[in-house]
Structure 1
Amino acid sequence: MSQQIDFCILGAGLAGLSLADALREQDIETMVIDKEAVAAGASGTPGGLVNLATGRRATKVWQAEQCYEAITQNLARVQAVTEQPFYQKSGLLRPALLEKMARKMRDRYEHTSWPDGWCQWKSENEIKEMHPGIQCIDGGLWLPIGLSVDVGAYLKAYAHFLRTLGVTILTGKQPEVTPAEQGWQLAFDDSTVYAKNIVYATGGSTTESPYWDWLPLHYIKGQVALFSTGGRPLSFSHSISSLGYMAQTGKPNTFVQGSTYEHNFDHINPDKEGEEYLRQRMRRTLPQLEEEVETVGQWAGVRTSTPNRKPILGRHPEHHGLHVFTGLGSKGLLYSKFLARHYADHLTSGTALIPEIDIARIAE
């Protein structure tokens, strides 16, 4: 049995599902294939943040307004057809832990144009009033628009939603990809798919393909842990970004602590060292809380990063009909929907790609 299709997307994570949806909106027939399951890779973290101020200086993220609008609209759209809640507008607190950090954060804040209501500077006393017991020196940032998301649950709901809209999503399949007369052949054990175009949205396994082994991707292992206060409810309802992050889960007594940034690793499983690292980070920010919580779960995934810390999108420089969408790093949740629409517009209308993410910056 064989099938013809316009676009086949390899990878059912944030990039793959978002692009499939964006192409569907352009009336392009699309199929998604994943060698494991929906959200099986780094996109499947049980807790993540939509954080618009990142890094040590709390720098406003690239294309913040467009990215935030795109992901908030899509989260609401998918949540509307899903019974189980997977995100909340919890707000995000970013306390400074050192005087030098506070100076740099405040300087960056004062020299950044933020939309009304997105970001506020709070004094040390104001932050400690918002969150008694938190470690803070000289103030920090409060982002009322910050979101906490169970990314794995979101993607599973998203995949279900896309299937109801007619998008074919196959999991547990790893086809052999070879050139065909008018595109590409994807051979399965019992069938063959002929696609005019293939998009590699395979995250941590992108360079395993001989077509993409030249990309300058760097792989970073990240671990998160789920902590519980037992029968006691949490004393705060916001999320926190400080030496990692603490993301609300929507449950009154649990939160997700993340993430490790392991540049050298010999396995991709969660481990005791990762849990202790996360506890140390929590201890620096909320020492009393760390003493009280128990670990009730762990998760690990491998993210892709690039030299300029921006994603890579575009056509293969030599092979017609071959595309890549990778390198989203720790901002995959925030970037995915905006970039998927941007690339779909590029493919259908010929609009230029933003230079910072265009594969041409590498292929030249």
Structure 2
Amino acid sequence: MSQQFDFCILGAGLAGLSIADSLAEHDFSTAVIDREDIAAGASGTPGGLVNPATGRRAKKVWKAEQCYTTTLQCLQKVQETTEDHFFAKNGVLRPALMEKMARKMRNEYEQTSWPKDWCQWKSEGQIKEMHPGITCVNGGLWLPVGLTVDVGQYLHAYAAYLEQEAGTTFFLNQDPIERYDDGYWRIKLEKTMIRAKHIVFATGRATATSYHWDWLPFNLIKGQVAEFKTANNALGFDHSISSLGYMARLGYDGTFIQGSTYEHDYTHLDPDDQGEEYLRKRLRRTLPRLEKDVTTVNQWAGVRTSTPDYMPILGQHPTDKNLHLFSGLGSKGLLHSKFLADHYVDHLVNGSELYPEIDIRRYCLTNT
């Protein structure tokens, strides 16, 4: 028994589900395969932010308006199909923790063109009024458009949407892909054979070890997050925070997600005591009184795939045009994934040029 598809996507994380969605919107038949399960990799973090101002300077993200609009539309589309609430537009507060940081953030803010009501500079007094007990030096940013997402829950709902509404077929237990003379890629599974004209690698860290793509300069970064809970079962504020990591605030039961570590030299893939202490230290720096009051409920770890220029990689293999790559989303996967998936499918369907910032050819030119 065999099943035939236009595209087979390897990986059921943010990149894989987003490209499956965009392909289905153009009536391509799609299959998604993952070695483990939906959201089993770095995309499955229990809490993340859609924050258009990132880094120490709170710099506006590349293509922020387009990415944010597309992300919000996709979240709303999927949310309509389930009663489980997996995201909230609760805003992101970005306090400066040092005078130098405040100066750089303020300078970046004043030189940046922000859409109306997206980003506001707040004085130290205003931020401390918004959030009593927070560490703040000389002000910071308030982003009312900021979103908080339970990413793992979102991806499970997204997969269910794709299966029910778009006809996407999901499989587990990927075997190696094989190319046959008829022009189709074949993947042998336990009970069926998949034949696909095109293969899309959206496998995150596994991409770096694939012989098809091992010439690309990927950086693998382990990130740990912790779920904390307050003793009195309440927090007293609704927004999330971006400050030496992030604090993702979902629900009203006194729990929140604190992230993330950035481990380049790791020896295992599991969460550990060192990661918990690192996250507590970061929480202590921003919210010292809160850190004393919380207990650790759970921990999670995953490995993100990043690039030297911190931009994703999209494109066709330089010698095999039926092999495609969508990787390197790093910590901005929530914000970039659907916009870039739409952009790439438009490139495939209409021949539009890829943005040079994300085009795989920026590395092909120096490596082939």
Deviation sequence 1:210-248 (CA, Å, 0-9, x none): 111111100000000000013331021110000100001
Q: Does 1:19 align with 2:34?
A: no
| Mapping 1:252-271, distance limit 5 Å | 252-271=253-272
User: Secondary structure in 2 aligned to 1:221?
Assistant: strand
Question: How many angstroms apart in 1 are the aligned matches of 2:11 and 2:233?
Answer: 40
Amino acid at match of 1:47: G
Question: How many angstroms apart in 2 are the aligned matches of 1:90 and 1:228?
Answer: 19
Shift of residue 180 of structure 1?
Answer: 1.6
Identity %: 63
Asked if 2 retains the 8 angstrom alpha-carbon contact of 1:93 and 1:240, the reply is yes
Shift of residue 286 of structure 1?
Answer: 0.5
Deviation sequence 1:332-361 (CA, Å, 0-9, x none): 011001001001101111111000000000
User: Secondary structure in 1 aligned to 2:277?
Assistant: helix
Q: Does 1:225 align with 2:226?
A: yes
Question: How many angstroms apart in 2 are the aligned matches of 1:202 and 1:250?
Answer: 30
Question: How many angstroms apart in 2 are the aligned matches of 1:190 and 1:214?
Answer: 33
Q: Does 1:116 align with 2:123?
A: no
User: Secondary structure in 2 aligned to 1:81?
Assistant: coil
Q: TM-score, normalised by structure 1?
A: 0.98
Shift of residue 194 of structure 1?
Answer: 1.2
Asked if 2 retains the 8 angstrom alpha-carbon contact of 1:13 and 1:38, the reply is yes
Shift of residue 270 of structure 1?
Answer: 0.6
Deviation sequence 1:159-207 (CA, Å, 0-9, x none): 0011102433434311220112213111223321111100000001102
- 2:53 maps to 53
Asked if 1 retains the 8 angstrom alpha-carbon contact of 2:24 and 2:168, the reply is no
Asked if 1 retains the 8 angstrom alpha-carbon contact of 2:163 and 2:170, the reply is no
User: Secondary structure in 2 aligned to 1:84?
Assistant: coil
Amino acid at match of 2:3: Q
- 1:73 maps to 73
Q: CA RMSD in A?
A: 0.9
Question: How many angstroms apart in 1 are the aligned matches of 2:143 and 2:91?
Answer: 6
Q: For structure 1, list consecutive stretches of 5 or more residues without a partner in the other structure.
A: none
Shift of residue 134 of structure 1?
Answer: 0.4
Question: How many angstroms apart in 1 are the aligned matches of 2:345 and 2:168?
Answer: 18
Deviation sequence 1:126-155 (CA, Å, 0-9, x none): 000000010000000000000000000000
Asked if 2 retains the 8 angstrom alpha-carbon contact of 1:32 and 1:169, the reply is yes
- 1:190 maps to 191
Amino acid at match of 2:212: Y
Question: How many angstroms apart in 2 are the aligned matches of 1:57 and 1:172?
Answer: 41
Amino acid at match of 2:255: T
Asked if 2 retains the 8 angstrom alpha-carbon contact of 1:56 and 1:105, the reply is yes
Amino acid at match of 2:331: S
- 2:342 maps to 341
Q: Does 1:322 align with 2:323?
A: yes
Change in 2 beyond 3 A, CA 1:167/1:175: farther
Q: TM-score, normalised by structure 2?
A: 0.97
Question: How many angstroms apart in 2 are the aligned matches of 1:165 and 1:127?
Answer: 44
Moved more, 347-356 or 164-173: 164-173
Asked if 1 retains the 8 angstrom alpha-carbon contact of 2:20 and 2:30, the reply is yes
- 2:139 maps to 139
Q: Does 1:311 align with 2:308?
A: no
Shift of residue 250 of structure 1?
Answer: 1.4
Asked if 1 retains the 8 angstrom alpha-carbon contact of 2:31 and 2:171, the reply is no
Question: How many angstroms apart in 1 are the aligned matches of 2:202 and 2:258?
Answer: 27
Q: For structure 2, list consecutive stretches of 5 or more residues without a partner in the other structure.
A: none
| Mapping 1:21-36, distance limit 5 Å | 21-36=21-36
Asked if 1 retains the 8 angstrom alpha-carbon contact of 2:306 and 2:329, the reply is yes
Matched residues, number: 364
Amino acid at match of 1:2: S
User: Secondary structure in 1 aligned to 2:275?
Assistant: helix
Amino acid at match of 1:343: Y
- 2:355 maps to 354
- 1:214 maps to 215
Question: How many angstroms apart in 2 are the aligned matches of 1:13 and 1:315?
Answer: 20
Question: How many angstroms apart in 2 are the aligned matches of 1:69 and 1:166?
Answer: 21
Q: Does 1:90 align with 2:114?
A: no
Deviation sequence 1:92-115 (CA, Å, 0-9, x none): 100000000000000000000000
